[in-house]
Structures are given as C-alpha cells and as structure tokens.
Amino acid sequence: MAQVKEITASSLDTKEFIKEKAAEISQIVGNGVAINALSGGVDSSAVTMLAHKALGERLKTYFIDNGIMREGEPQQIVSIFQKLGVTVQIVDAQDEFFNALKGIEDPEEKREAITQTFYKKVFGKLVKQSNAKYLLQGTILTDIDETVAGIKRQHNVFEQLGIDPQEAFGYKILEPLVQLRKDGVRKVAEATGLPVSIYNRMPFPGPALSARVIGEATRERIALVRKATTILEKELSGVKAFQYMAILHKNRVTGMRDNKREFGQQIEIRCWDSIDARKASPTQLSFAMLDKLAARIVTEVPGVVSVTYNITPKPPSTMEAV
Ligand code: XMP
C-alpha cells in the first residue's frame, strides 16, 4: 500500500494545490469523461470545483438522492452549484437504498450495504450510461486513518483495504484530496470560490441519516430522525461546535401524553467540541437550550417521549452512535 504524504493546513499553498490537482486530473482523464457524486459536504464540493476547473463539461456531477439526506438537501445543493456554473443532476435512488437497508441492524453491515448500492448499483449504471472511466471522490486522510485502524469503515475507502475499484465496480477512482485533513480541505474549498455555507459546513457522514438511526433504517424511522435533525440544526445553528446530531434509539421507553401511557421513541442529542474528530468532548450547552430542544422535539416529532443528551467524551464514545 502506497504511503500517503500528508499536507498540513498550515503548509498548504491553496493556489498551487488547486493548479497542481487540476493539471493532474486533466492529464489522467485526457479527452474522456469523468463523473462524481456531490453530497454538498465540504469534501465532495471541493472535488467538484477542482474537477470542474480541470474538465469543464466533461465532468458529469450527480447528486444521488438516496432518501437518507436531510430535509431539502438535494435542491439546496443543486441551486448553490448552479450559481457557480456547475450543472448537477439529481438521481432518484431512494428505492435502491431502502431496499438494500431492509432488515439490517448492524452498523458495519449498514455501511457495507450503502457502499455496495452506491458504487456498484447506482454508479455502475451511471458510469455505463456516461461512458466515464473515472469516478472522482473526496476521500481525505482521516477517512483512511480511521478505516485502516479498524475504528469505523468509511464508505469511500478501498485501496487501503486491498479492494481494486476497477475489478470490483468497473471504473477507476481518483482522490485529489487524499493528502489533506478537514482543515486543509476547507481552505481549498474557499479558494475555489465556494460560499462559506459550504466551506465551513458541519461534517455529515457518508451513510447520512442511516448513521443516526440505531437498528433498522426504514423510511419511517429516517423520516422521524430527519424531523428531529431539522429542529436541532435550527436551534443550534448559532452554537460554536464541531458537529451536532439527533439519534433515534432502537428501544422504546414508557412515557405519558394527555394522561395516557405512551410507549414511545427516544431521541439522543449529541453536540461535540473537537478539532479534527479524532478526539471530542460534549459541548457544554446551557440547560435552557437543552430544555428548549427537548420541548420542541417531543411536541413536533410524533411518537417521541424522551430526549437525552450524551455527556461522554470520545474516546470511549465515538461521535456517531452507529
Ligand atoms: P466517529 O463516529 O467515528 O466520527 O467518531 C468521526 C467523524 O466521522 C464522521 N463519520 C463518517 N463519515 N462515513 C463518513 O463519511 C462514515 O461511515 C462515517 N462515520 C462517522 C462523523 O460524522 C464524524 O464527523
């Protein structure tokens, strides 16, 4: 396995990096076509801008609507990129993903189901249709570190696990950001002209809201955690934290509503202070804020009777519960 040479954010010359990577992409892809999936996260957004600079219209960018994104996300992202002159096509793959997630409870099996659906089923088809030989993606050094260390299999890491994408999926994968960590990617993203809402965007996992549901990620359970996520992201938008999330628990608990017993759902809130996601500690949110979050979630998300706040640092916790 080739050792990746890290470029730290402090030693990064963004202009030079963009020039170099765009030239590399141009040279490898030649006159051909490349495709990429844009999720709207800072990594895939930076890759889209880099590759667009290199290939122009020969880059086909897709937003895969997997059914497990946050409220309104596909349309928001497409419109941001439209303003930057990048056309993004939304691909409705909701049925494929929910079928693949059916009956799966184990976290790593969930990740594997999403990986296979994304790379083999959805992208296999798009590659064939577009005649592309290359897929560009925003893998960063931390994804590789955590996967190789066996902590959490990141959905976008292959080579370091001995998987050849050409053999497994029928196309090559280019990873122009692989020498960077998140802080470096944010600098590159800003330098490519992306707006602050993208280059400072809070991290969000590749397996999206399925990582926020403990147990089976059904349409109904995803819809429930999506509602809680919308409330949480709105209320905490002014808080300086690395990442915050709502998690739907598998087990129900006894609650009461309108003087009747209600055996209902539990939502766990997590909010993290962290520099690079390798270590993290719970943000000291005010009790008034926690109170408000609980009140809104139990009132506005049907069936939820309990809201808790995680007070355990990483380690031994991890940031996501799944
Ligand atoms: P953990 O839960 O490992 O999370 O402490 C560290 C950071 O990684 C994100 N994360 C993921 N991102 N695919 C991703 O793209 C994944 O499978 C995944 N799991 C966790 C998490 O949101 C946090 O920022």
Which residue among 172, 199, 226 closes a domain? 199
Residue 160 reports pLDDT greater than 80: no
Measured from the CA of 245, which atom of ligand 1 is nearest? 22
Residue 154 reports pLDDT greater than 90: no
Mean pLDDT along residues 268-288: 95
Residue 153 reports pLDDT greater than 80: no
Integer-rounded Cα radius of gyration of the chain: 20
Taking a C-beta distance cutoff of 8 angstroms, is the pair 237, 260 a contact?
no
Q: Are both 194 and 305 inside the same structural domain?
A: no
Q: Are both 16 and 110 inside the same structural domain?
A: yes
Residue 140 C-alpha to ligand 1 middle, in angstroms?
A: 12
91 assigned to some structural domain:
yes
Q: Are both 268 and 296 inside the same structural domain?
A: yes
Mean pLDDT along residues 116-124: 91
34 assigned to some structural domain:
yes
Residue 146 reports pLDDT greater than 80: no
* DSSP output for 105-157: -SHHHHHHHHHHIIIIIIHHHHHHHHT--EEE----HHHHHHHHTTS---TT-
Mean pLDDT along residues 244-257: 98
1 assigned to some structural domain:
no
CB 207 near ligand 1, within 6 Å: yes
Predicted local distance difference test score (pLDDT) of residue 161: 75
Mean pLDDT along residues 36-45: 95
pTM: 0.90
Q: Are both 38 and 104 inside the same structural domain?
A: yes
Predicted local distance difference test score (pLDDT) of residue 51: 97
Residue 251 reports pLDDT greater than 80: yes
Q: Are both 27 and 124 inside the same structural domain?
A: yes
Q: Are both 185 and 279 inside the same structural domain?
A: no
Mean pLDDT along residues 279-290: 98
Q: Are both 165 and 240 inside the same structural domain?
A: no
CB 155 near ligand 1, within 6 Å: yes
d(CA 204, CA 69): 10
d(CA 46, CA 99): 31
315 assigned to some structural domain:
no
Residue nearest to atom 22 of ligand 1 (CA): 205
Which residue among 166, 199, 232 closes a domain? 199
CB 314 near ligand 1, within 6 Å: yes
Residue 193 reports pLDDT greater than 70: yes
Mean pLDDT along residues 138-161: 79
Q: Are both 163 and 243 inside the same structural domain?
A: no
Which residue among 164, 199, 234 closes a domain? 199
CB 205 near ligand 1, within 6 Å: yes
Q: Are both 266 and 166 inside the same structural domain?
A: no
* Single-letter amino acid, residue 291: D
Tally Cβ neighbours within 10 Å of residue 163. 13
pLDDT tens per residue across span 225-243: 999 999 999 999 999 999 9
pLDDT tens per residue across span 82-102: 999 999 999 999 999 999 999
d(CA 73, CA 87): 16
3-class DSSP state of 173: strand
CATH number at residue 301: 3.30.300.10
Measured from the CA of 321, which atom of ligand 1 is nearest? 2
Mean pLDDT along residues 160-166: 80
Greater model confidence, 156 or 76? 76
- The count of domains in the chain is 2
Domain, as residue range, for 258:
213-309
316 assigned to some structural domain:
no
51 assigned to some structural domain:
yes
2 assigned to some structural domain:
no
Predicted local distance difference test score (pLDDT) of residue 44: 96
Residue 50 reports pLDDT greater than 80: yes
**Which burial class, exposed, middle or buried, applies to 288 when counting CB atoms under 10 A from its CB (0-12, 13-18, 19+)?**
exposed
Q: Are both 182 and 261 inside the same structural domain?
A: no
Compute the mean pLDDT over every residue in the chain, rounded to the nearest whole number.
94
DSSP state of 212: G
Q: Are both 93 and 32 inside the same structural domain?
A: yes
- Residue 134 tokens read as 């290359």
Find where tokens 């990442």 sit. Answer: 243
CB 203 near ligand 1, within 6 Å: yes
Residue 1 reports pLDDT greater than 70: no
322 assigned to some structural domain:
no
User: What phi, psi does 199 have (nearest 5°)?
Assistant: -70, -20
pLDDT tens per residue across span 2-11: 678 999 999 9
Mean pLDDT along residues 134-155: 83
Taking a C-beta distance cutoff of 8 angstroms, is the pair 266, 253 a contact?
yes
CB 115 near ligand 1, within 6 Å: no
**Residue from 110, 154, 161, 243 to probe ligand 1 pocket by mutation (most atoms less than 8 Å from CB):** 154
d(CA 13, CA 253): 53
Q: Are both 128 and 248 inside the same structural domain?
A: no
CATH number at residue 32: 3.40.50.620
